[in-house]
Amino acid sequence: MTTSPTEFSEPVAVAAGNAPAGRPSAASARDVARVLLRRPLALGGLVWIGLMVVLALFGTLIAPSGENDVDVPHMLQGPSGLHWFGTDELGRDVLSRVIIAAQPSLEVSVVSVGFALVAGVLLGLLAGYYGRFADSFIMRCMDILFAFPVMLLAIAIVAVLGAGIGNAMIAIAVVYTPIFARITRASVLSVREDVYVRAAVSIGVPDREIITRHILPNVAGPVIVQTSLSLGFAILTEAALSFLGLGVQPPQPSWGGMLYEAQGFMQQAWWMAVFPGLAIVLTVLSFNLVGDALRDVLDPRRRTQLEAAARP
Amino acid sequence: MTEPVFSVRDLRVSVRTRRGLASIVNGVDLTVDPGRTLAIVGESGSGKSMTMLAATGLTPPGVDVDGSVRLLGTDLRTMRDRQLRAFRGRHVGFVFQDPLSSLNPLMTVGRQIGEAYQLLQGRSRADARRRSIELLDQVGIPEPEQRVDSYPHHFSGGMQQRVMIAMALACEPELIIADEATTALDVTIQAQVIDLVTQLQAKLGTSVIWITHDLSVVAGLADTVAVMYGGRIVEQAPVDELFERPVHPYTRALLAARPRIGDRSPLAAIPGSPPSPLQPPPGCAFYPRCSVRADARCATELPPLAPVGPGHLARTFYAGVADAVPGGSVS
Amino acid sequence: MSDVVAAVEDLHVRFPVRTASGKREVRAVDGVSFEITHGETLGLVGESGSGKSTTGLALLRLVNPSAGTVRILGEDVTSWPRRRLRALRRQVAMVFQDPQSSLDPRHSIGSSIEEPIRVHRLRDGTSARRARVHELLEQVGLPADAAARHPHELSGGQRQRVGIARALAGEPDLIVLDEPLSSLDVSVQAQIMNLLRQLQDDLGLTYLFISHDLAAVAHMSDRVAVMTSGRIVETGPAVEIYEHPRHDYTRALLAAIPPDTPAEARGRRANAEHRSPA
């Protein structure tokens, strides 16, 4: 035995000024929870998203009426004790429709962003790690997609494939893949130069394993943040597609579709547009707030600043 | 007895972190006389850098500073921010460890050197440029009239550090603070930079505080040495006295642990690691690693900084005479 | 000469560089030759830009030689294709300069040390691997519970011990140490040097010790090669190099070693003044 086993003294505090150069400690789930709890807005956003998820799963059970319970004699009635959000031009309860419409909105958003995430991260990993030809080819393809305004591209894809909820998901997935690819690639480029990656290469770890075990976990942060933001935007995009009649098809209710139907009745029945609109706004806002909070936790540089500045 | 250029009394620095209160500096007293060099020696967690940052008001937000600091007779701690910045800029020059991150890659060297001169002393651009050329010459950069318009990345590491020194000298400060200024440099360049600083100091009469972990740098530079450990000064002496008659077991261990050319026997390594500011040991901070442990009080009582020789203070209960084997276990 | 672990002959490593004035070539290593025999430490000393780190990287094919040969245990590995490199990287292991950045912050210590064992299939089954990790931790002077911790929980010296344990895990024939002391506190450097020497004695290890710290190199090495601008200017037993340097550059390096005492510093300054009253 050479020197006696060294005791575990805490390393020099990552206190302001003494922070070691390089990445600070990786964020843990506990850190994430702590940051979220400290920000009322982000917390509110999280609660709202949770509520939407519940509605998406159990909407039909929760809603007071069915989504297509037509009741023409009571059409175009304002908010009342019976109908909290009023009724539309067919006498349907707007509240119930808003609740039930949560499901397709969230479903489209989650599924399409899910696909974009998987495809984009994969492409970004390949482009960033292998570089040169793979990088050029993949990123030029992404650049082509980026060149189109999101809505235009989504509309074009749906126009080619035909209207419907499934095709809307495909369109949104395609349109959101490039941002994930770009973000992943940027992170990979920076992580690839880190010494521990070189150390893994020096050990003889095969490329596939280096990517999955060392690079992927260290690029997860920005990707998670982007996921949260994209979920919000996907809801907007879906709403727009449905508004144009290209996404969720009636009689299945969707927030965008409800906006479309409300157009002709703006003067007489403002509640037909306002409540679905509010649902869209609050949901998108919530995703953004949570995404911002996550960014503060998961972006290594911001965390050092926060750790330094925080604490009364 | 002339008034010291810089004096610090009972400086304390702490940060509240997630894991508790970190006491980084625990009561430090320092003085620097005009034209003299004080070296502060310490390792990670000793608080040496934070002492200077706190004394000059450069700590990041969230750090608590206590104690009194006087520069040229003026109390720095009661100054308002803008005042402090002007005063500090005019009278203190800084040289940091990594010139590449201290120099703005988008500004020419001349403009950076002249910046403080122009802004703080209200000089014209032309004057500032002239001063930059003059300084580049003083720090030994060849062809200064041409190099003044070069960008930092056109210079080698050693030259960049010379540029930093030129920047530090721009306003003719009374005090220069160098923090690990030669650590990142090659040995040959390090020797040159140290020579440069000693020459400039002799010529301009500037006082210098040199912060380092390297005792050999100290041997070539310092008039007085203060050794820091665990946020406190554990030994302070004129440089000859420190090297010839070190008293504190940590100082002795540091001196003994240096590899000597020609001697390949195992080194007298100091076991363990420096203490964490979050968990300061009770009693003497060096006790967990000390092999001398001369006194029962070492573990529980903090030794006071007491005189042990001419101009020589040590914070230890062990005030033994320098014997053949300094403290530190041989593994 | 079956005793020779590594033999480098006329090694050249060139990097293309794009500058404002067009494409140029940087000759990082410009014709380097040396041999390392079993159980010895060859010290490779030079300043920044000398090419010493690049030379070390070439031994593991982490950079590719532009010319010359690298032989490990007699086999010419210079042009080995990628798929054979895994075997090479078991034979030659590396300890990196900065222990903090050379360990994946998201992996536990045990996981980092286990990686070579897993990649090269040196132990069968999780418990056998874990036992080996504990064995390695003990060899480098770390407690067994270190395996569950993460790099940010350890001190610099402890992290470097982990780096050494990881290098040992592959049971290599040669360990290349690239500035292993530079990021460490002075009071810890001696510990690590003692550890490396002890391990070499106990396990019969062979080292290429790359450093700019002349005193450390003198302490660690049996033989020393002095490098500058991509070339080795002098090689020989450590004692010879330090006491009777023959090349001007070696002499300049030795002269630049910081003085041990203030008296020595003053002596040097007086000498310099005597010699050049400029």
Nearest by Cα to C199 from C119, C95, C109, C111: C95
Count of domains observed in chain B: 1
For domain A53-309, the question of CATH label 1.10.3720.10 is answered with yes
Contacts of A14 in chain B (CB under 8 A): 17
Domain of residue B86, CATH code: 3.40.50.300
Average pLDDT over residues B52-58: 90
Contact B117, B201 (CB under 8 A): no
- Chains in touch with B (≥3 Cβ pairs < 8 A): A, C
Closest in B15, B271, B278 to A16, CB measured: B15
SS3 B71: strand
Closest CB to C191 among B188, B198, B269: B269
B261 and C265: CB-CB below 8 Å? no
The minimal CB distance from B216 to the residues C157, C194, C258 is found for C258
Query: How far is B86 from B94, CA to CA, in rounded Å?
Result: 14
The pLDDT assigned to A16 comes to 30
- pLDDT value of position C168: 96
What local confidence, expressed as pLDDT, does residue C142 receive?
Answer: 94
Q: What's the 3-state SS for A135-180?
A: HHHHHHHHHHHHHCCHHHHHHHHHHHHCCCHHHHHHHHHHHHHHHH
Question: Which residues touch C17 (CB under 8 Å, ≥6 apart)?
Answer: C23, C24, C25, C26
Answer yes or no: is B110 within a domain.
yes
Note the pTM of the prediction, 2 decimals: 0.83
Q: What is the predicted pLDDT for the residue at B191?
A: 84
- Alpha-carbon distance of B100 to B154, in angstroms, equals 11
- Tell which of A6, A14, A18, A297 to mutate to test the B interface (max B CBs under 10 Å): A18
Would B204 be classed as within a structural domain? yes
Q: Which tokens hold the place of B98?
A: 């990594």
Residues of chain C in contact with residue B150, where contact means CB-CB under 8 angstroms, are none
Which of C160, C186, C226 to probe by mutation at the B interface, max B CB count within 10 Å? Answer: C186
Instruction: List Cβ neighbours of C84 (8 Å cut-off, separation of 6 or more).
Output: C77
What is the average pLDDT across B311-328?
66
CB of B24 within 8 Å of a chain A CB? The answer is: yes
- This complex has an ipTM of 0.87
Q: Which domain holds residue B126?
A: 6-227
Q: How confident is the model at residue B320 (pLDDT cuts 50, 70, 90)?
A: low
What confidence tens digit (pLDDT) does each residue in B5-40 have?
A: 999 999 999 998 877 888 999 999 999 999 999 999
Q: Do C143 and A8 touch (CB under 8 A)?
A: yes
Give the mutation candidate from C211, C217, C219, C253 for the B interface (greatest B CB count, under 10 A).
C219
In this structure, is residue B264 part of a structural domain?
Answer: no
The candidate with the shortest Cα–Cα distance to C35, out of C91, C79, C73, is: C73
- Over 80: is that where the pLDDT of B130 sits? yes
- Any domain includes B220: yes
Kindly report the nearest CA distance between residue B61 and chain A, in angstroms.
6
Give the pLDDT of residue A301. Answer: 55
Task: Tell me if C256 and B190 make a contact (CB, 8 A cut-off).
Answer: yes
Q: Where are the beta strands (DSSP E) in chain A?
A: none
Q: What's the rounded mean pLDDT across residues B165-182?
A: 90
The CA dihedral of A47, A53, A56, A62, to the nearest 10 degrees, is: -50
Pick from B213, B240, B268: CB nearest C262: B240
Choose among B17, B18, B331: nearest Cβ to A2: B331
Token pair listed for C26: 């940087």
Verify whether the Cβ–Cβ distance A26 to C106 is below 8 Å. yes
Residues with Cβ within 8 Å of B284's Cβ and at least 6 positions away in sequence, in order, are: B290, B298, B299, B301, B302, B303, B315, B316, B317
Model pLDDT, residue C55: 95
pLDDT on residue B1 = 55
Question: Edge to edge, what strands does the sheet with B37-41 contain?
Answer: B92-95, B175-179, B207-212, B37-41, B224-229, B232-238, B312-314, B306-309
Question: What tens digit of pLDDT does each residue of B253-272 get?
Answer: 988 888 888 788 888 888 88
- Which residue of B18, B19, B101 is the best one to mutate when testing the A interface, meaning the one whose CB has the most A CBs within 10 A? B18
The CA distance from A76 to B250, in Å, is 86
Chain C nearest C-alpha distance from B274 (Å): 8
* Strand (E) or helix (H) holding A42: helix A40-62
CA distance to partner chain C, nearest, from residue A33 (Å): 18
**Shortest distance, CA A189 to any CA of chain B (angstroms):** 21
> CA-CA distance, C8 to C31, in Å (whole number)?
10
Of A4, A6, A17, Cβ closest to residue B63: A17
C148 Cβ under 8 Å from any chain A Cβ: no
Q: Which residue in chain C has the smallest CA separation from B186?
A: C47
Q: What pLDDT, on the 0 to 100 scale, is given for residue A13?
A: 32
* SS3 state at C41: strand
User: What is the model's pLDDT at position A302?
Assistant: 53
Considering only CB atoms, which chain C residues are within 8 Å of A28? none
Give all chains having 3 or more CB-to-CB distances under 8 Å with chain C: A, B
Structure confidence by residue, pLDDT tens digits, B210-244:
999 888 888 888 999 999 999 999 999 999 999 99
Q: Which residues of A touch B276 (CB under 8 A)?
A: 9-13
Instruction: Say what angle helices A271-298 and A29-38 make with each other, to 10 degrees.
Output: 130
Q: Which CATH superfamily is domain C4-17+25-104+171-273 in?
A: P-loop containing nucleotide triphosphate hydrolases (3.40.50.300)
Nearest CA in chain B to A4: B271
Report CB contact under 8 Å: A203, C142. no
Given this model, what pLDDT does residue C258 score?
Answer: 82
Residue B114 predicted with pLDDT over 60: yes
* pLDDT of res. B277: 84
Among the partner-chain residues B22, B274, B279, the one whose CB lies closest to the CB of A15 is: B22
Instruction: Answer whether B267 sits within 8 Å of C194, measured CB to CB.
Output: yes
**pLDDT means over runs of 10, chain A (312 residues):** 31 32 52 76 90 89 81 82 84 88 90 95 93 92 90 88 87 93 93 91 92 89 90 90 84 87 86 90 92 77 50 33
Interface test mutation site (partner C, options A1, A6, A209, max chain C beta carbons within 10 A): A6
Q: B17 touching C, CB under 8 A? A: no
Nearest to A6 among C90, C93, C142 (CB): C142
Distance set, CA A143 to CA A24, A129, A147, A169, A223 (Å): 33, 18, 6, 21, 19
Q: Which of these, C243, C193, C209, lies nearest to C41 by C-alpha position?
A: C209
Collect the ranges in chain C with pLDDT lower than 50: 1, 278
Least CB-CB distance to C194: which of A3, A199, A213?
A3
Residue B12 maps to a domain: yes
Sequence-distant (6+) residues with CB within 8 A of B131 are B113, B114, B117, B123, B170
Chain A touching partners, 3 or more CB pairs below 8 A:
B, C
Query: Quick check: B277 contacting A, CB < 8 Å?
Result: yes
Quick one: pLDDT at residue B123? Answer: 82
